[in-house]
Structure 1
Amino acid sequence: MATTVNEPAAKRQKTDHNLVIGTHNGTFHCDEALAVWLLKRTKTYKNAEVTRTRDEAILATCNIVVDVGAKYEPENQRYDHHQRGFEEVFGHGFTTKLSSAGLVYKHFGQEIVSGLMGWPLTDARVQALWLKMYKEYIEAIDAIDNGISAYPSGVKPAYRMRTDISARVGYLNPRWNVHTTPQGMDELFVKASDLVGGEFHERLDYYGNAWLPAREIVLNALKDSASGDERVIVFHEFAPWKEHLFDLERDIGKEGVALYVLYPDESGKWRIQAVPESSESFQSRKALPEDWRGLRDDALSQLTGVPGCIFVHASGFIGGAQTEEAVQALARLALQA
């Protein structure tokens, strides 16, 4: 539990067996709430106490300090981002200025991912998840805490979004007209830290146990397609494939090559889906032929000459048939159209 300390407590900290994480007291924010949670998932600081104060003399007795103190000195375990001239970023293509959450994650994140997933630090999946979690979860926390707009061009959003994790942490602070004791504030901080940290862990578990396995399926299908027609990708088990396909195409220098994806649906029948121009696009690289669109069953089979057809969507982005052989035949015909 976090503790707000006064001057005598500084002497107590020097003799405590446990290490001490320092951060500021008063109103808390998402970045230091997550930074503290992350530190307590490291081997060094897993049993550390948390001290919330702005007293420099007390902070000087802490083993690590985040989001206060006006110093970014990793060698001295100081991780603040408020000082003039601070411009540290995560790297690896990310350019958003870091908050205390990003600073801690940059320096300790791989150890944290390794520990939470139970994988060796040298496992290539650790690096992949470390980068993925920054992109999908922590970068936005950094940006919001540093006042960086998601619309740098000045475009006004069509609606107000205040359900993000940073906003939800903010709502845990006491109302302006409600008096809360220092102990009560610390209890709320722990609640905020558990909220943002718990969500981090849930997302990490998803990316480690669902996103990465899907990526492996897509990568293997791309490798298999290299021995045949690379324009048609076949999955023998369904997996979310769009994001992975575009990323992996860039990695292997095959951007724009795949036109159709074939896969079994939940009923055991098969689908043929046109690859979109991007993961968010509704436009296909090569939609299914126009004269197939909107047809079903026998009418579609008669037109294509392929037995077992089920449907082609009116927009031509997807179709279905009874067997893999049937969708393979549809793909060959669509490529020639």
Structure 2
Amino acid sequence: MSSEPELKKQKTEETMSAEPVQALNICTHSGSFHADESLAVYMLRLLPRYGRGELTRSRDPKDWEAADIVVDVGAVYDGVKFFDHHQRGFTETFDDKHSTKLSSAGLIYKHFGKEIITQLTSVKEEAVLDLLHVKIYEDFIEAIDANDNGINKFETEHPSAPRFKDRAITLPSIVSNLNPLWNEDNSDAAFDAKFSIACQIMGNVFVDVVKNVGLSWLPAKQIVLQTINRRLEDHKSGKILIFDQFVPWKEHLFELEKELGIEGEILYALFEDSGKNWRIAAVPKAASSFESRKALPEKWRGLRDDVLSEASGVEGCVFIHAAGFIGGAKTKEAVLKLAELSL
């Protein structure tokens, strides 16, 4: 048994409060480690009460009993102190809409995730926390759960329908490779030192995911919703979105269209680019597709500047892509005119 070196602290509320925070101790198993408990421990230590406590890595039941919370060891899950998933008969999932069995990462996130999200983003509204809690689980945590529990991404009988997202799932192999080699130092101290690195790697990625969703994805969704709601004020057709600022809009557009019952109605999005010119984007048939619902006119495609302005009859044109899915002009008025002519 040995104690984990203190992890790098994130800025927490305890630094802004004079009230003392109770220090609670964590225990997980010693020896070789995986991505799930590395992430689970890091998530707990983002909370002031666990960040101030000690971390012990041990397989001794006496150490489990002495700890305030036990992760990925002990063969018990009670949602209070013990958070293990290896015992026979364990079937816990994130909720009744998800079928992936939880690992220690999923268990900790299920019970402490909303509190951790608030810690990292300052979001406190319950409805928003519910949304972010699910989004972050599906984008990141679920793949860690599946990997640790040996769950394949695809159903055998339906190989085209993935069970979960796995863009970040190479992380488990990175963590696995951190374990000491069989022919080098295999002491508890050697494993503990490498486990500290694993926690930091998993934690850094997790924090970035949470901040991206809470501080970027969520505000973007709100702006896209506002833009959709006023589309008839911006243009009588209701088929053109005019953004006051650029935001990542495609993923949100498809989700919001479905929620609002207007799927397929919006054809073009207009926004200012980083060079202060304006862009017109044809809405794709799917978020990752270059095939558009209504591409820009074929006779404009591949043209630029004055040649394009002459062909379209719109002054100040910059370009139309050869595939017809995006174009540009010098002013908002010009791209709006291009959109109107394209309709």
Q: Distance in 2 between matches of 1:277 and 1:107?
A: 38
In 2, Cα distance between equivalents of 1:327 and 1:334: 10
Q: Distance in 2 between matches of 1:289 and 1:18?
A: 65
Query: How do 1:111-150 residues align onto structure 2 when only pairs under 5 Å count?
Result: 111-120=115-124, 122=125, 124-150=127-153
Secondary structure of 2:66's partner?
A: coil
Q: Corresponding residue for 2:25?
A: 20
1:151-178 deviations in whole A, cap 9, x for unaligned? 333869xxxx998221111121101111
* Secondary structure in structure 1 of the residue aligned to 2:55: strand
- 1:89 is paired with a residue whose SS is coil
Write the distance in 1 (CA, Å) between the matches of 2:240 and 2:293: 12
Q: Does 2:175 match 1:169?
A: yes
Deviations 1:92-113 (A, max 9, x none): 7432211100010000000011
Secondary structure of 1:96's aligned partner:
coil
For this pair of structures, how many residues does the alignment match? Answer: 317
Secondary structure at the residue paired with 2:116? helix
Q: Which moved more, 1:185-194 or 1:85-94?
A: 85-94
Q: Please, what is the CA RMSD of the aligned residues? A: 2.4
> Do the aligned partners of residues 93 and 234 (structure 1) sit closer, same or farther apart at CA in structure 2, a change above 3 Å counting?
farther
Give the structure-2-normalised TM-score: 0.85
Q: Deviations over 1:248-296 (max 9, x none)?
A: 2222222211111111111211111111111111211111122221222
Match of 1:14 in 2: none
Stretch moving more, 298-307 or 228-237 = 298-307
| 8 Å CA contact 2:240, 2:339 repeated in 1 | yes
Alignment partner, residue 336 of structure 2: 328
Q: 2:194 aligns with which of 188, 197, 200?
A: 188
Q: How far apart in 2 are the matches of 1:257 and 1:37? A: 44
Q: Residue by residue, what CA displacement relative to the aligned partner does 1:74-129 show, whole Å, maximum 9, x if unpaired? A: 1x421111122222111274322111000100000000111122333x35443333
CA, structure 1 residues 276+162, in 2 after alignment: closer, same or farther (shift >3 Å)? closer
Deviation of 1:65 after TM superposition, in Å, equals 1.2
Equivalences for residues 255-334 of structure 1 within 5 A = 255-334=263-342
Mapped to 1, the partners of 2:335 and 2:245 lie a distance apart of 15
The letter for the 2-side match of 1:239 is: V
- Matching residue within 68, 71, 86 for 1:66: 71
Corresponding residue of 2:92:
88
Deviation of residue 43 (structure 1)?
4.3
Distance 1:331 1:141 in 2: 44
Q: In structure 1, the residue corresponding to 2:51 is in which secondary structure? A: coil
The more displaced of 320-329 and 204-213 is 204-213
Letter of the structure 2 residue corresponding to residue 225 of structure 1? R
- Tell me which residue corresponds to 1:29: 34
In the TM superposition, what is the alpha-carbon distance from 1:33 to its structure 2 partner? 0.9
Gaps of 5+ in 1: 5-16
Q: Any idea what SS the aligned residue of 2:94 has?
A: strand
Aligned residues of 1:2 and 1:187 also touching (Cα < 8 A): no
Residues 41-90 of structure 1: CA deviation (Å, up to 9, x unaligned): 2244232222222223332332211111112211x421111122222111
Partner residue in 1 for 2:230:
224
Whether contact under 8 Å (1:67, 1:100) holds in the other structure is yes
Q: Would you say 1:238 and 2:246 are equivalent positions?
A: yes
Is the Cα–Cα contact under 8 Å of residues 23 and 49 in structure 2 kept in the other structure? no
**Matched residue, 1:99:** 103
Aligned-partner Cα distance in 2 for 1:111–1:235? 33
- Return 5+ residue gaps in structure 2 as ranges: 5-21, 161-166
| Secondary structure, aligned partner of 2:46 | coil
Aligned residue identity for 1:281: S
Identity percentage of aligned residues: 47
Partner of 2:3: 3
